[in-house]
Amino acid sequence: MHEISLGYTIQDYLSGQDIEATTYEDLRQAIVQMVVERKAYPKENIRSKIKIEFDIEERKFSRSIDLVVYSPTGEPLLVILFCAGEVETFVRETVAAARLLPDKPAKLALVTDTNQALLIRVFDAEVLEKNAYQAIPDWSRLKEIGGKVGQYELTDRKKQIEERILYAFSELSCSCRDTSCFLGT
């Protein structure tokens, strides 16, 4: 998803700092606020705009993940991606992103357009919940589910496949055709 700067700043819900307003930042902020205030996720366990960087055919590529929720022990537990379009069409892209986190794969992934949400088990890409608000588990349930699901093992070969998948989906959803989507060549 390509974001465009709106030319002003807004206050980040997590840090309280001024951040650049973009075409999707208000939605990202609303999701963070909802999971903290209504689902009891600790702010300190949430990080936004986590970068996944890799090479495709000798070109550096970067994809930013909207939100990553970490377990109390610091393991990536849940990836949250906002999508603009039919939620079901973003499942595979979301799973690839969750599998490619810098430290290790997350156990769960959530993709939402803010009206519909899907909770996905990253190990086998199975959709566990499909509903808007109910698909987003509260903090206790998230930790419970995360403790029961298997960990996806990312081998070098699987990593290359997931990078290709993430690259392909990201390129399909990116409306720009210049170098602004890339780190460089």
> What would the pLDDT profile of 121-151 be if each residue is shown by its tens digit?
999 999 999 987 778 999 999 999 999 999 9
pLDDT at 2 over 70: no
Task: Give me the percent of the chain exceeding a pLDDT of 70.
Answer: 91
Residue 3 in any domain: the answer is: no
Compute the average pLDDT of residues 168-179: 56
Mention every residue, 6+ apart, whose C-beta is less than 8 A from residue 132.
112, 114, 115, 116, 117
CB-based contacts of 15: which residues, under 8 Å, 6+ apart?
none
Q: What is the DSSP string of 140-161?
A: HHHHHHHHHSPPPP--HHHHHH
pLDDT at 133: 72
Half-sphere exposure of 172 (CA within 13 A, CB side): 12
Tell me how many domains the chain contains.
1
- Residue 105 backbone phi and psi in degrees, to 5: -60, 145
- Residue at 112 is within a domain: yes
Mean pLDDT of all residues in 112-119: 91
Write down the pLDDT at residue 24. 77
Q: Domain range for residue 96?
A: 42-184
Residue 26 inside a domain? The answer is no
Say if 30 falls within a structural domain. no
Q: Is residue 184's pLDDT more than 90?
A: no
Does any domain span residue 8? no
Separation CA 29–CA 11 (nearest Å): 9
pLDDT at 175: 44
Q: Is the pLDDT of residue 178 over 70?
A: no
Using one digit for the tens of pLDDT, what is the confidence trace for 12-28?
899 889 888 887 788 88
CATH number where 114 lies: 3.90.1570
The CA-atom distances, in angstroms, between 15 and each of 6, 7, 12, 84, 172 are 20, 20, 6, 25, 32
For residue 99, is it within any domain? Answer: yes
Residue 177: inside a domain: yes
Domain presence at residue 126: yes
In the prediction, which pLDDT does 171 show?
66
pLDDT at 180: 42
Tokens of 17: 């700092």
Taking only the tens place, the pLDDT of each residue in 147-159 is: 999 999 999 999 9
- What average pLDDT does the chain have? 87
CA–CA separation, 98 and 79 (whole Å) = 6
Judged by DSSP in three states, 43 sits in helix
- Which class for 144: exposed (0-12), middle (13-18), buried (19 or more C-beta within 10 A)? exposed
CB distance 45 to 35 below 8 Å: no
